[in-house]
Amino acid sequence: MTEVIVVGGGAAGMLAAWRAAQRGARVTLLEKKSRLGTKILISGGGKCNLTHAGEMEEIRRQFRSNEAGFLKPSFYRFTNEDFLELLTGQGMKVYTRPDGRIFPVPPTDAKDVVEILERHVRDAGVKVRLDCPVEKILVEGGVVTGVQVGEKVLPCTRLIVAVGGSSFPGTGCTGDGWKWLAELGHTIVRLTAALAPLYLDPTPPDDWSGVALRDCVLRARKQNPDSSTGKERMHWRGDLLFTHKGVSGPTALGVSREIAEALPENSTVEVDLYPDEAFEQVTARLLAQAQQNPKKTLLGLIDDAPLPERLRKPLLESAKLDPATRCAQLTAKDRNRLANTIKGWQVGRVRAVPLERGEVVAGGVALDEVDSKTMESRKIKGLYLCGEVLDIAGPVGGYNLQAAWSTGIVAGDSAAQNAVE
C-alpha cells in the first residue's frame, strides 16, 4: 500500500513528493499531463523566475497580511536559499537582477530547472505516473483513504493535493482541486485573475503590439462616471508591453489582481513615463527645452522621453497637441497639458482580466481551514494542501514560486512523518 500520494507534478507537487520520499515514506506522484513541471516551463517567459532575493521576512511581507501570516512557518522552514541549493548543487548557475528577481544564467532556462527537480524526485525513489488524471478524492469518516483514477482506486493513508489553479489550462491547471475540495466541505474563496494581462477598451492600434515602455509606473484607477480622475486602486513600477488586446508585462501583472477583484466596477489605467520626477519638474524641463530650441516641433521636443518613436505622436495627440507645433508657440497651458499626459497617459479602460491567462489565480481554499505549520486540512485527516490550490497570490517577481516551493516542502515533511509513524 502506498503511504503518500501526491496529486499534481508542478512546483509544489514535485517538492512535496521529493521531501516525503526523503523522509522515508513510499511516495507516488500522479500527474495528468505527459510530463512534470509543465507550468514551470512557461514561467518568466520560459526563463523561470526561480524566487526572489533577500530575507524571507521581506519576501513574506510582499503578500497580503493574512497570506503573509499563513506563509510564515513554511517560509522559515524552507527558504529561497534552500531552494537555490537544490539547483546549484546540480551545477546550475543563477543570477540576481537589480529588482531582486533570480533566474538561471543563460543558456539554462526553465527546461533545465524542471529537469533538475525531476531528477531529485526520481532519485529519491518517488514512483512517477504520468498521463494519470485523478477524478476524485476518497474519504471515509473524515479520513483520506485514496483517490480514484479512471475505474481504479489507489489507496493511501496520506494525500497531498498540489494541482495548482486554473490559469493556462493547457498546462493541466484546470481547477480540479477546488471542485474536489469543495465537495469535501472546504470553503473556496472567490477566484479571480492575478498576474494577468489587461484587455483594454479601446484596444491599442495594431502597430502598437509588441512595443514596450521601460521603467514606467502603471496606475490603475476607479473609473468615475464624470470621467474625472478616479481613486487609485494600485500602481506598479517596471516595464509595460502593449499587445493586440491591451497591455501586459510586469506592471500590468502587478495591478491585475486589484482590478480583477474590483470587477464589475470599471477601472482605467494610465502610464507615468517619469516616475522619479514630480509634475513641476516635468513642466520645468519642458519649459527649458522649449526655450533652448524654439524652432523645434513638439515631436522633436519629446525626443529624449523614454518613449518609443512609434508612440510619440499618439502621446501628443492624447494631450490634444499638434506634433508639428513649434516650441516657440507652446503656451503655459499647453505645457501643463503635456506634462499631465507624460505623468498620467491614459491608455484605456479595462474591459477584462482573463483568468485563464494569469500566471497565478487569486482565491482558492480558505487559509483558516488549513494548518499553516503542517499544511494539513482542518476538515479531513490525512489530507494536505499546498501551492496555488490555496488562497495565496503574491506579486510578480518570483514570490509565488517561492510560496509553492515552501508549502510543498512542509506538506511533504508532514505527510511523511505521519505516514511512517
CATH number at residue 222: 2.40.30
Q: Can you give the CATH number for the domain in which 406 is found?
A: 3.50.50.60
User: Residue 88 to residues 93, 95, 112, 177, 399: CA-CA distances in angstroms?
Assistant: 6, 11, 12, 32, 19
pLDDT above 60 for 142? yes
Integer Cα distance of 95 and 100 in angstroms: 9
Last residue of a domain, one of 352, 386, 411: 352
**Confidence band of 358 (pLDDT split at 50, 70, 90):** confident
What domain range includes position 176?
A: 2-192+361-420
pLDDT at 172: 45
pLDDT score recorded for residue 421: 54
Q: State the pLDDT at residue 171.
A: 47
Same domain, 95 and 133: yes
The average pLDDT across 19-25 equals 96
Q: Tell me the per-residue pLDDT of 90-136, one tens digit each, with 9 for 90 and over.
A: 999 999 999 999 999 999 999 999 999 999 999 999 999 999 999 99
**What pLDDT, on a 0 to 100 scale, did the predictor assign at position 26?**
96
To the nearest whole number, what is the mean pLDDT of the chain? 93
User: Domain check: are 261 and 304 in the same one?
Assistant: no
How far, in Å, CA of 390 to CA of 329, rounded? Answer: 59
Residue 101 pLDDT: 95
Residue 171 and residue 227 in one domain:
no
> Each residue of 261-287: pLDDT tens digit?
998 899 999 999 999 999 999 999 999
Confidence of residue 141 (pLDDT cuts 50, 70, 90): very high
Peptide bond into 107 cis (omega under 30): yes
Q: What is the pLDDT of residue 300?
A: 87
Q: Are residues 164 and 25 in the same domain?
A: yes
Same domain, 290 and 401: no
Residue 153 and residue 6 share a domain: yes
Residue 173 — very low, low, confident or very high, per pLDDT cuts 50/70/90? Answer: low
| Predicted TM-score of the model (pTM) | 0.90
Q: Write down which residue in 352, 378, 402 finishes a domain.
A: 352
Q: pLDDT at residue 259 above 50? A: yes
Query: At 316, which CATH number?
Result: 1.10.8.100
Residue where a domain terminates, one of 352, 371, 405: 352
Please tell me whether residues 233 and 295 are part of one structural domain.
Answer: no
- 53 and 136 in a single domain? The answer is yes
**For residues 369-382, average pLDDT:** 98
Cell 512557518, residue located: 73
Query: If you average pLDDT over residues 408-415, what whole number do you get?
Result: 98
Check pLDDT > 70 for residue 377: yes
Q: Do both 288 and 248 map to the same domain?
A: no
| Mean pLDDT value of segment 301-307 | 82
Alpha-helical segments (H) within 124-215: 176-183
66-70 mean pLDDT: 98
Query: In terms of domains, do 32 and 90 share one?
Result: yes
pLDDT of residue 306: 83
Average pLDDT over residues 19-23: 96
| DSSP collapsed to 3 states, the chain | CEEEEEECCCHHHHHHHHHHHHCCCCEEEECCCCCCCCCHHHHHHHCCCCEECCCHHHHHCCCCHHHHHHHHHHHHHCCHHHHHHHHHCCCCCEEECCCCEEEECCCCCHHHHHHHHHHHHHHCCCEEECCCCCCEEEEECCEEEEEEECCEEEEEEEEEECCCCCCCHHHCCCCHHHHHHHHCCCCEEEEEEECCCEEEECCCCHHHCCCEEEEEEEEEEECCCCCCCCCEEEEEEEEEEECCCEEECHHHHHHHHHHHHHCCCCEEEEEECCCCCCHHHHHHHHHHHHHHCCCCEHHHHCCCCCCCHHHHHHHHHHCCCCCCCEHHHCCHHHHHHHHHHHHCEEEEEEEECCHHHCCEEEEEECHHHECCCCCEECCCECEEECHHHECCCCCCCCHHHHHHHHHHHHHHHHHHHHHHC
pLDDT at 165: 63
Q: pLDDT category, 226, cuts 50, 70, 90?
A: low
Task: Read off the pLDDT of each residue in 402-414 and give the average, rounded to a whole number.
Answer: 98
Q: Kindly state the percentage of the chain with pLDDT values over 90.
A: 83
Q: Domains in the chain: how many in total?
A: 3
One domain, residues 229 and 123: no
